[in-house]
């Protein structure tokens, strides 16, 4: 059977669900890790059918009672490999394509192959390798790290050359460079999925001493589309009335080809959508949406308390580096649905090509008008913000200056409060002076 025809048939069968997902989920409550894997696999297949070749999948690999990513955690590493194998099975079965799972090094390859050998060998079209398949180390060549259980297996380099889809798992920050080299050496234009490596955590190490430079994000990691993304966070806020501390939690959610969404966790454990848009939310923005939905966003905008709660910097360097990155695929939710031969392929993500609006959009909305409608007062009138980046350097500079003015004003208010406090302390000291000693008795 032709793998490409199988993949097309599978995607056609998923088309009704994909069109529903393009609008985003109202609620989400996966009952098991198997459901998470199935949802992630559907998203990967949908993205591949749309021609996406660089993808990211992110969701909790372990129950909430266990800490998430730790580079020394065997439980996290093994769970990721097991989940990747489960997804690879579905990919191979539903698309007919060969899937190659890639772990960081030969030592981990031997360990994982020994643990999951039966699953790997009993599934057609499934194989495993490691990032340096063509660059084995000296100790490995001497046989010091060769696992006996991996002997007799087809060489990873041979299975990699025949693979159709690649899943990279358990890479660390320093190994992201190896992922880039592997992509150039072996993957080429074939699909590559970064599977549950907590890429946002790894990005934070870039640029530090002993780690890859930030340029790796700009030239390589920025091209990866988040096709299935669940990032959970727990928060709390103190209030002046009982119960005094309010706990709340939620997640940033995206399921290809849908939009980016902020979801708030309900008492039943179900996540309910409270906000959505085409561009990725950062953690600060997601927290603000949750506080707004909970009625906890009570600080006056621009007040000292609001500044102290939110801080001066609410985004990361890679979220701010729009001008440096070669692609904004990692932050955007562009939707391209495959349609039948007699239908036109359209982009539903901006709302202007939805059925009933397509003709009106084509006749009455120019690209500039559409950007003005989408971005409102964020659209710069000088024309420098063309395409999907309406904010110009001038606008960003103005915002930075406004923030600096706010900091100066808050600093002055703080100094005034301190001066008033010192004055009150001096008055209090005067009032608390001991009474004068009694006068001596008059002499008769």
Give the Å distances, CA to CA, from 390 to 211, 224, 371, 374, 394.
Answer: 33, 22, 8, 10, 11
For residue 69, name the pLDDT band (cuts at 50, 70, 90): low
For residue 240, name the pLDDT band (cuts at 50, 70, 90): confident
Query: How high is the pLDDT of residue 441?
Result: 72
Query: How high is the pLDDT of residue 238?
Result: 85
In this predicted model, what pLDDT tens digit does every residue of 27-59 receive, in sequence order? 999 999 999 999 999 999 999 999 999 999 999
Taken in order 114, 121, 102, 77, the sign of the CA dihedral is: negative
- Angle separating helix axes 74-95 and 3-21, nearest 10 degrees: 110
Q: Is 99 helix (H, G, I), strand (E, B) or coil?
A: strand
Please say if the pLDDT value at position 6 is more than 60.
no
Q: How far apart are CA 212 and CA 205, in angstroms?
A: 8
Q: Which of 321, 291, 305 is nearest to 417 (CA)?
A: 305
Q: Which of 112, 137, 140 is nearest to 127 (CA)?
A: 112
Torsion angle (degrees, nearest 10) of CA 173, 87, 69, 333: 70
Q: Which of 4, 228, 187 is nearest to 102 (CA)?
A: 187
Mean predicted lDDT score pLDDT of the chain? 79
In this predicted model, what pLDDT tens digit does every residue of 143-198 receive, in sequence order? 554 544 455 567 788 888 899 999 999 999 999 999 999 999 999 999 999 999 99
In this predicted model, what pLDDT tens digit does every residue of 259-315 receive, in sequence order? 999 999 999 999 999 999 999 999 999 999 999 998 888 777 777 877 777 777 788
Q: How far apart are CA 404 and CA 435, in angstroms?
A: 50
Query: How high is the pLDDT of residue 232?
Result: 93
Query: How high is the pLDDT of residue 116?
Result: 92
Query: How high is the pLDDT of residue 297?
Result: 80
């Amino acid at each position: 059977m032709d793998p490409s025809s199988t993949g097309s048939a599978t995607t056609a069968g998923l088309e009704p669900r994909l069109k529903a997902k393009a609008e985003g989920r109202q609620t989400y409550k996966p009952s098991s890790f198997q459901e998470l894997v199935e949802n992630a696999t559907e998203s990967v297949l949908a993205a591949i059918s749309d021609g996406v070749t660089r993808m990211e999948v992110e969701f909790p690999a372990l129950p909430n009672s266990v800490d998430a990513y730790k580079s020394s955690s065997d439980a996290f590493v093994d769970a990721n490999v097991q989940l990747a194998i489960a997804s690879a099975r579905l990919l191979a079965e539903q698309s007919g394509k060969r899937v190659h799972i890639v772990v960081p090094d030969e030592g981990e390859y031997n360990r994982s192959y020994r643990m999951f050998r039966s699953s790997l060998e009993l599934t057609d079209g499934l194989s495993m390798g490691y990032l340096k398949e063509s660059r084995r180390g000296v100790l490995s060549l001497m046989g010091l790290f060769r696992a006996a259980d991996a002997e007799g297996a087809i060489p990873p380099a041979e299975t990699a050359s025949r693979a159709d889809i690649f899943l990279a798992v358990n890479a660390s920050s320093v190994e992201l460079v190896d992922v880039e080299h592997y992509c150039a050496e072996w993957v080429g234009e074939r699909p590559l999925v970064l599977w549950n490596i907590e890429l946002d955590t790894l990005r934070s190490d870039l640029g530090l001493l002993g780690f890859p430079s930030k340029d790796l994000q700009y030239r390589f990691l920025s091209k990866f589309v988040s096709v299935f993304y669940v990032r959970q966070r727990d928060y709390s806020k103190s209030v002046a009335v009982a119960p005094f501390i309010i706990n709340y939690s939620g997640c940033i959610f995206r399921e290809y080809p849908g939009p980016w969404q902020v979801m708030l966790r309900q008492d039943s454990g179900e996540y309910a959508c409270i906000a959505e848009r085409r561009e990725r939310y950062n953690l600060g923005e997601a927290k603000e949406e949750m506080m707004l939905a909970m009625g906890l966003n009570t600080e006056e905008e621009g007040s000292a308390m609001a500044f102290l709660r939110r801080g001066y910097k609410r985004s990361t360097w890679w979220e701010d580096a729009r001008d440096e990155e070669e692609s904004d695929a990692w932050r955007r939710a562009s939707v391209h649905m495959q349609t039948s031969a007699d239908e036109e392929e359209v982009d539903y993500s901006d709302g202007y090509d939805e059925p009933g609006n397509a003709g009106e959009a084509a006749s009455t909305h120019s690209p500039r008008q559409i950007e003005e409608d989408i971005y409102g007062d964020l659209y710069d009138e000088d024309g420098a913000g063309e395409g999907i980046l309406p904010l110009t350097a001038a606008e960003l500079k103005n915002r930075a200056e406004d923030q600096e003015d706010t900091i100066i004003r808050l600093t002055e208010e703080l100094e005034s409060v301190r001066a008033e406090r010192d004055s009150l302390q001096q008055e209090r000291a005067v009032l608390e002076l001991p009474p004068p000693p009694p006068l001596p008795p008059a002499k008769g």
